[in-house]
A = this chain, B = another copy of it.
C-alpha cells in the first residue's frame, strides 16, 4: 500500500450498491464515508489503493442504498395506530381521531409518539421523515434523540388546537421551535398549514409572506377527497389548488400531499409552478379516498415523492409497503404493467422525497459529497432469493425485516436490526402505556 492513501472514517463493501443517481446497481464497489459524508463510490480494488478506512464493514449479501425519505407522516399519531379501522372517513376523524387528540395531545404524547415512530421508521430503513404535527418542539427533541433526520412541519390551523388559540399562535410557536433548534444539523423546518379547507385566505397570505422572509417551504394536504375538491368548486368556483395558486402559495417550494383528485387544469398548474406531490397510497386506499393519478403527474414532469401518512390511517410507517403499493396500484388500475417500474419507485422513495423538501443536494442518493444517510438490506433470505435484479427485489420482494443497518450522516443508528441510540423495548412499552391511558379515559 502506498503512503498517500486518504484516511477516511468508514468503508462499506456490499454485494450491491444502489446509487439511485443512476439506474441499477454497482457490484464489487465500495463506498467511503468521512465526516458524515460520502467521499467516494468506486471499484473495490481501486478503493484498496486510494483509501485507508478507520473502520470497514463487509455486507456480502446486502444491497446498500440511500435511506428512505418518508415524505409525509404524522409521527406522534403512532400512539393511535389502528384505534379505528374500517369506518367511514368522516366518522374516523370526528368520532375517533379528533376526540382522542383533544383529550391527549400534549408535549409528552408528541415526544413519546414521535420516538415510537422514529424507532419503527429507522428499523425499516427510513432515515428522513417529513412530519406534520403539533408541539413541534417536542417532536424535534424526539428526532434528535433517535438520531433520525426530519423535516419538521410548523402546523397552522385557523382554530385552537394543542394550546395554540389561532393561526398566529400556531405560527409563532412553530417559528419559535425552529429558532430553538437552529443548530440541529439533522432538522429542517417547513410551514405546514393543515389544508385549504381549514385555513382561510388571510392566513394563507401570512404564510406566503413568512415563507418568503424565512425561505421556508410550504406543505399542505390537498384534494385528498373528491368531496373536498367538489365542495370548493361549488363554493369558490375553483379547485383548492387554483385558490392557492391565486393566493401565491404555489411554486417550487410548495408540496401538495395526497392530490388524489385533481380538477381540470390542476395537473398542468402543478407542473407549471414546479410544485411537488407526495403520494400516500396506503392511507388513500384505506380511508377510501381513492387513487392519485401518479402516472399522469409523472408524465407531466411533476416531482412525485412517497409517504406513509400517519399510523392512525395506514397503519404502518413502512416505505417498502408504500413503494409496493404505489407500483401495484398504478399498474393494476391502468392495466399497464409497465407503469411505475421498480427503479422509478425506488427514486420516488428516496431522491424525490429529498427534492420535495429542498434537501435534494444533500441526501436521496449515493453520490460523492452527499450526507451518508444509508441503509443495508440483506437479500440473502428465503424470501429474497433468487435475485435476478436487486432493484426489483428491493421494491417487490424485500421488506423492512430485511433492513439490517442504518446510517444517518455516517452514524450507525441501527446495527443488526436494533436502534443504537434508543431502546426499542422501552419505547414499545411506553406506547402500550399510552394505549392503556387512552382507552380508559372518559369519552
Contacts and interface: CB of A to CB of B under 8 A. Distances in A.
A329 B388 contact: no
A386 B341 contact: no
Contacts of A316: 383, 396-397, 399
Given A85-B342, A428-B382, A333 B388 contact: no
A427 interface: yes
A50 to B, nearest CB: 31
A427 B282 CA distance: 33
B286 A332 contact: yes
A380 interface: yes
A373 to B, nearest CB: 20
The listed residue with most B CB atoms (<10 A of its CB), out of A85, A226, A392, A397, is A85
Contacts of A424: 381-382
Interface string A75-98: 000010111011111001000000
A55 interface: no
Interface stretch (A19-27, A249-257, A431-439): A431-439
Nearest to A395: B85
Contacts of A381: 424, 428
A104 to B, nearest CB: 12
Contacts of A333: 291, 333
B337 A86 contact: yes
B432 A120 contact: no
Interface string A311-337: 100111110010011011101111111
This chain's copy number in the assembly? 2
A282 B401 CA distance: 19
Nearest to A425: B380
A244 interface: no
Contacts of A327: 286
Contacts of A282: 328
Contacts of A434: 386
Contact of A386 (B81, B89, B325): B81
A204 B105 CA distance: 64
Given A285-B331, A332-B286, A388-B83, A119 B382 contact: yes
B435 A337 contact: no
A386 B76 CA distance: 12
Contact of A88 (B119, B338, B380, B396): B338
**Which one of A79, A328, A385 has the highest number of Cβ atoms from chain B below 10 Å of its Cβ?**
A385
Given A285-B329, A332-B288, A387-B435, A86 B382 contact: no
Given A85-B392, A397-B315, A335 B288 contact: yes
Task: Give the one of A79, A424, A428 with max B CB within 10 A.
Answer: A428
A230 to B, nearest CB: 13
A400 B401 contact: yes
A233 B96 CA distance: 49
A229 B387 CA distance: 34
A116 interface: yes
A284 interface: yes
A123 interface: yes
A284 B332 CA distance: 7
Given A332-B291, A337-B286, A396 B82 contact: yes
Closest 10 CB pairs of A and B: A285-B332, A401-B401, A386-B435, A288-B337, A285-B328, A86-B341, A385-B431, A119-B382, A385-B428, A315-B396
